[in-house]
Structure 1
């Protein structure tokens, strides 16, 4: 396909409506692949998922401490993670060539720095 996107449009979760949260919050993302043909390796750069509900089954025990989760066409997952440091987290499919086709999202996290977790400087317009 020419475009591969989040929320139906190139830039939907970047320029138009990036996700926003605060340090200390737990984020839950419901992620589905509308298909019809591509499997997604969903990942948030800079985070480890505390819990992944495979196939979006909230009644089953979650997987824990997952970096990337596989979602088939027509499938879904639910991921949760607690935000420990501020920064600009990037939502991607780990088939990273899809970034050039529009598949990226931002999670902008604000709050106090935590040098015990990460000691660095946030550069405007970049990750953390």
Structure 2
């Protein structure tokens, strides 16, 4: 995920996070330990064994969970590494105050879910309004 900031920078927020979704097409079963070879048939069928954030299963839970306090503004730079699946990006329990479609300069507001194609990206901003565990 490459970010090119506007010449004047981004508006200030309290928290920024970078998240990339990707898919792995392996010959092994889900959770099977060890190196898993690439499975071309699964890739052609668009049937990934794993759809993960930041390169591994469970990467944004526990000690690695994104943290924000009530009332803080949050910006997420979200990319979809693909190669096949479109991401319907949404934070359960939130409405995005601002979405930079395709990570460009045009914005939309009050969006619940935004579509991110393989190889695409988006930038979303929201303010946490209630204490909760928000799930991507």
Shared fold per TM-score greater than 0.5: yes
Aligned CA RMSD, in angstroms, stands at 0.9
- Gapped regions of structure 2 (runs ≥ 5): 1-47
Aligned to 1:64: 109
Aligned to 1:45: 92
2:74 counterpart of 1:27 = yes
1:51-81 Cα offsets, whole Å, 9 max, x none, are 0000111xx2310000000000000000000
Pairing 1:109-120 to 2, within 5 Å after superposition: none
2:117 counterpart of 1:55 = no
Which of 1 and 2 has greater Rg? 2
- Tell me the TM-score normalized by structure 1: 0.67
Separation in 2, partners of 1:27, 1:75: 20
2:98 counterpart of 1:74 = no
- Gapped regions of structure 1 (runs ≥ 5): 92-128
Pick the structure with more strand per residue.
Answer: 1
Pairing 1:5-16 to 2, within 5 Å after superposition: 5-16=52-63
1:14 Cα shift? 1.2
Separation in 1, partners of 2:126, 2:88: 17
Separation in 2, partners of 1:81, 1:15: 22
Pairing 1:100-111 to 2, within 5 Å after superposition: none
Q: Relative contact order (alpha carbons < 8 A, sep ≥ 6): 1 or 2 greater?
A: 1
